[in-house]
Amino acid sequence: MDVRSRNHVRVTGRTGGPVVVLAHGFGCDQNMWRLVAPVLERDATVVVFDHVGSGHSDLSSWSRERYATLDGYVDDVLEICRDLALGPVVFVGHSVSAMMGVLAAAREPEAFAGLVLLAPSPCFIDDPATGYRGGFSAQDIDELLESLDSNYLGWSGAMAPVIMGNPDRPELGEELTNSFCRTDPEIARAFARVTFLSDHRADLACVTVPTLIAQCSSDAIAPPEIGPFIQGEIPGSRLVTLNATGHCPQLAAPEETAAAIAEFAASTASAR
């Protein structure tokens, strides 16, 4: 199967401008970008896709072995970029996809004009020995994964509103819950382990392309210390704290999120 069908790749927007690739996080699909993409399409070519196992991707292409680490997803990202043949792209990675962007840019920097790390976390687990705060203890993550294993739908209903934040807008939590529930539970369990057990702090220093770190002002999944930590590890990176709250600013504050991405994409284009 060709990569465009496998990952349900869609290309829209203006030709001749920056190429912006939008990558969704755990339990989601490209629909998460529906409020951001139209803004970006005014001045950029916009690429959205579904990770294998998510959305309208080809589920038969998923295998536990290939996607046991982020490397399988990184292979897909690089294959998509090569297949599009649109030149260096601005890769926008939300949550776990931010680290996919880090790994992809470290491996093939020439494929990227820049990275936008949206609500990123290189490691969700606290590391008391180094003073790193990921937001969860090892026991927290073990309990989270055990709950997911025993009752995925119940876990989705409980966790999605916490991840989304914005309790005054319950429709956002409901949307994320529904997105989680559409994901095959076996694939979701495997992807959750890759997401919450990975530690890619050491890979940050390997990034050499322009990088924007966009964290949210309040995020139950990625605490505020993470943004400055990543900025300190990626040479020359820039950090912005969005007014958006929750872990999914592309839904909670799409205008602000789109503006940050568009400004960064334009800056990378003018620098080339």
Active-site residues, by number, are: 95, 219, 247
SS3 155: helix
Contact (Cβ atoms closer than 8 angstroms) between residue 158 and residue 174? no
Residues facing residue 12 across a β-bridge: 46
Q: Kindly state the DSSP code that residue 202 receives in the 8-state scheme.
A: G
User: 74 φ, ψ to 5°?
Assistant: -65, -40
Contact (Cβ atoms closer than 8 angstroms) between residue 58 and residue 67? no
SS3 115: strand
Query: Do strands 19-23 and 45-48 pair parallel, antiparallel, or not at all (unpaired)?
Result: parallel
Q: Kindly state the DSSP code that residue 126 receives in the 8-state scheme.
A: -
| End-to-end Cα spacing for the chain | 34
Residues in the chain: 272
Q: CA separation (Å) from 195 to 48, 61, 139, 200?
A: 20, 19, 16, 11
**Cα–Cα distance, 42 to 45 (Å, whole number):** 8
**Cα–Cα distance, 161 to 170 (Å, whole number):** 8
Which residues, at least 6 apart from 18, have a Cβ–Cβ distance to it below 8 Å? Answer: 43, 44, 45, 90, 113, 265, 266, 268, 269
